[in-house]
Amino acid sequence: MQPELERPPEPESPPLQAPQESRIHFEAAPGHDGFDWVFVGPSGLRAGWSILFFYAIFFILRMVVGTVFYAAGLIGMTAGDTAPSVLAIELVPFLSLLAAAAIMGLLEGRRLPSYNLAGPRPVRRFASGAIAGFSALSLLVAVLAYSGSLRVAPGALPAAQAIRLAVLWGGAFLVVASVEEGLFRCYALSTLSRGINFWWALAAQAVVCADAFIHSQRNGAWGVYLAAALGLVPCFVLHLKTAGRSAFWQAAWVTSTVFGLYHTMNNGENWVGVFAAAAVGFVFCLSVRLTGSAWWAIGFHAAWDWAETFFYGTADSGLQGQGHLLTASPAGNPLWSGGSDGPEGSLLVVGVILLLTLFLLLVYGRRNRREGRAVS
C-alpha cells in the first residue's frame, strides 16, 4: 500500500520545551524596530539589567524590612557586637535577599537553585567547606601565634554559656555567609556569567576603583586597586584565547573586586584585609566552578568567621565580638599581626589563600577530570 503523500511542512512556532532552567524569553517579534534589543538578549533579560533590578529590589526591601525590625524592637540604630544582635541585624539582608531573588526568578523564569545552588551533594559540599574554613583559619592563627604576632589565651566562659554562644554565633555567621555568598557568588556570579565580556568587566572595574577613590574615608582602598590590577592581564588573555568561554572568569573578576570594595565599609579594615576579601572571593568563585555550586563557599565562609570571632576571639574584618571561647590579641607590626582587622589583615593570609587554591584544584579539579568533566 502506497503511503499517503505528505504536504510540505508549514512553518510553525518551536515546540514548548522544558529545559533545566525554565527561562522566560522577552524576545521581540522578528522585524520589530523598537528598542527591545537594549533590554533583551538571546537568553532573555540582559544580564546588566538583571543585576540592576536585583540590587535595586534588594536595597528597597532591605530598607522596608529594616524599618519593620526597628519598629518591632528587634534591632537598634547602632551595629551590635553580640551574637544575638548580629543574628537579628543580619536577618534583615537575608530576608531581603530571598525576596529579591524570588522576584527576579519570576521575572527571568528561573528557580532559586539555578543561581549557583543546584550542584550535586550540597550537604557534603557545605560540610567540606566548613571543615576547610575552620582548618584554614586555625593554620593562620597557629602561624601568627608561633611568630609572636598573635597572643592567644584561654577564655573564662562557663561550659553552658560557651555552648550557647557557640550555637548563637554559628547561626549568626551562617546567615552572614548566606547573605554575602548569595549576593556575590550566587545571583551576581551566575547572572554576569551569561552576559559579560572583557570590555564590560573592565568598565565595571573602572567604576569600582573610582568609587573606592571617591570614598577615600573608607578603609583599605588600595586592596581594591590591587585586586582589580591583578585580574587585568589574565582576563584579557582569556578574552583573546577563549572569547566565547571566558564569561565566567570575567564575572569572577568583577564580583571578587566588588566583594573587596564591600569590605572597605567595615571599621578596622586595612588594605591587606580588603585585598584578602577580594582574593578569597575569587577562590569562592573557583569553588563554584569546580564543585558546581556555592555550598562549599557558604560552609567555608561561615566556619572561618565563626572560628575568628567565637573560637579564637580575634577580630573579624574589624568586628570584635563579645563572648568567645579563647582570647587573642595582636602584637607587633599590623602588616604581620593584622592589627584591628584580625588575622585576615595579615600578609600571611596570602599564603593561606594560595594553599586553598591548590587544595581546590587538587581535590575537586582532579575529581572532575577523573569523572570526565572539563573545567575551562
Residue 5 in this model has a pLDDT that exceeds 50:
no
Examine the pLDDT at 93 and tell me if it is beyond 70: yes
Q: What is the tally of structural domains in the chain?
A: 1
* Residue 10 included in any domain: no
Residue 274 clears pLDDT 60, i.e. is over it: yes
Residue-level pLDDT at 34: 55
Query: Does residue 81 form part of some domain?
Result: no
Residue 297, CA distances (Å) to 67, 177, 339 in order: 30, 8, 26
In this predicted model, what pLDDT tens digit does every residue of 140-195 receive, in sequence order? 999 999 999 999 999 888 999 999 999 999 999 999 999 999 999 999 999 999 88
- 8 Å CB contact between 261 and 224: yes
pLDDT at 31 (0 to 100): 42
Could you tell me if residue 281 is inside a domain? yes
Does a structural domain hold residue 34?
no
Residue closest to 67 by CA, chosen among 101, 34, 96: 96
pTM: 0.88
Asked whether the predicted pLDDT for residue 30 surpasses 90, the reply is no
What's the pLDDT band for 76 if we cut at 50, 70, 90?
Answer: confident
pLDDT in tens, 338-354: 999 999 999 999 999 99
Q: Is residue 95 part of a domain?
A: no
Maximal CA-CA distance, the chain: 96
Q: CB of 43 within 8 A of CB of 23? A: yes
- pLDDT at site 81: 87
| Dihedral sign for Cα atoms in the order 45, 48, 49, 50 | positive
Q: Is the pLDDT of residue 6 over 80?
A: no
What percentage of the chain carries pLDDT values higher than 70? 85
Report the distance separating Cα 80 and Cα 91, nearest Å.
13
Residue 323 corresponds to which cell in the numbers above?
563572648
pLDDT at position 220 over 80: yes
Q: What is the pLDDT of residue 4?
A: 41
Name the H helices within the chain: 36-39, 47-71, 83-108, 122-146, 159-181, 189-192, 198-214, 221-241, 247-263, 271-291, 295-306, 334-337, 349-360, 366-370
Residue 62 lies in a domain: no
What local confidence, expressed as pLDDT, does residue 244 receive?
65
The pLDDT of residue 237 is above 80: yes
Whole-number percent of the chain with pLDDT over 90? 74
197 exposure class (CB count in 10 Å sphere: 0-12, 13-18, 19+): middle
> Grid coordinates representing 372?
570526565
Q: What is the pLDDT of residue 337?
A: 95
Residue-wise burial string across 123-155, b where 16 or more C-beta atoms lie within 10 A, e elsewhere:
eebbebbbebbbbbbeebbebbbeeebbebeeb
Kindly report which listed range (144-153, 211-220, 277-286) carries the lowest average pLDDT score. Answer: 211-220
Residue 243 above 50 pLDDT?
A: yes
What are the distances in angstroms from CA 224 to CA 67, 130, 229, 238, 367?
32, 27, 9, 21, 33
Instruction: Tell me the three state secondary structure of residue 328.
Output: strand
Using 50, 70 and 90 to split pLDDT, how confident is the model at 316? Answer: very high
Give the pLDDT confidence of 97-121 residue by residue, as tens digits. 999 999 999 999 899 999 999 989 9
Which pLDDT band, with edges at 50, 70 and 90, does 11 fall under? very low
In-domain check, residue 301: yes
189 is in which domain, residue-wise?
120-370
Higher pLDDT, 16 or 62: 62
* 349-360 vs 271-291: helix crossing angle, rounded to 10: 10
pLDDT of residue 57: 98
> In the structure, what pLDDT confidence band is assigned to residue 258 with cuts at 50, 70 and 90?
very high
- pLDDT for residue 293: 97
How many CB atoms within 10 Å of residue 104? 21
Average pLDDT for the chain: 88
In-domain check, residue 49: no
Question: pLDDT value at position 319?
Answer: 86
On the question of pLDDT at 279 being above 50, the answer is yes
Distance CA 309, CA 303 (A): 10
Q: Is it the case that residue 372 has pLDDT exceeding 80? A: no
**pLDDT surpassing 70 at residue 369:** no
Assess contact for 214 and 262: CB atoms under 8 A.
no
Does residue 96 surpass a pLDDT of 80?
yes
Q: Inform me whether the pLDDT recorded for 336 exceeds 90.
A: yes
| Residue pair 58/100 in contact by the 8 Å Cβ criterion | yes
The predicted structure's pLDDT at residue 7: 43
